Each structure stands twice: as structure tokens, then as C-alpha cells.
């Protein structure tokens, strides 16, 4: 068995191969549909972590500390 790939489009429910492609009568063919949506770039989603037990939320309480610097800015 040999395999060849030909590109075509569907118009009014019929497959039309590009110009110049001739297949023998009664040839067995397989049709593969390319999902065009796979070509689009999808945004990457990173889910946020969830706590298994909501009572643990207090363990993750954040405290903000303001630090004053003595450094001077040079311009």
C-alpha cells in the first residue's frame, strides 16, 4: 500500500482537489479533516491554587511592611 497526500477544499458538500490532480477510478481514499482552530494561538491559562480546607486561609495571611531607605537617588 502506498500513501499520497493531496490538498483540496469542500464546496457545496463535494471535495474538490487542486488543479491537475487525477485519481484512478475506484481508488480507495481516506479523508482527514484539519481543524483550523488548532492553528490559532490560544492564551495560556494558569489556574490559581485552591485550598482543600478553607480554614487554612488564615495560615496564608500576608503582612505588608514598609521599609524606608536612606539611599539618595542620583540624576
Residues 6+ apart with CB under 8 A from 17: 6, 7, 8, 23
Residue 57's contacts (CB-CB under 8 Å, 6 or more residues apart) are 51
Mean pLDDT by 10 residues, the chain (75 residues): 85 88 88 70 80 83 80 70
Per-domain residue ranges for the chain?
A: 1-41
Amino acid at each position: 500500500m502506498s500513501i499520497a497526500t493531496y490538498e483540496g477544499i469542500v464546496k457545496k458538500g463535494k471535495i474538490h482537489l487542486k488543479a491537475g490532480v487525477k485519481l484512478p477510478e475506484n481508488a480507495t481514499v481516506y479523508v482527514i479533516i484539519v481543524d483550523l482552530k488548532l492553528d490559532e494561538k490560544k492564551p495560556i491559562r494558569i489556574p490559581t491554587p485552591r485550598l482543600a480546607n478553607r480554614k487554612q486561609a488564615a495560615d496564608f495571611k500576608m503582612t505588608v511592611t514598609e521599609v524606608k531607605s536612606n539611599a539618595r537617588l542620583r540624576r
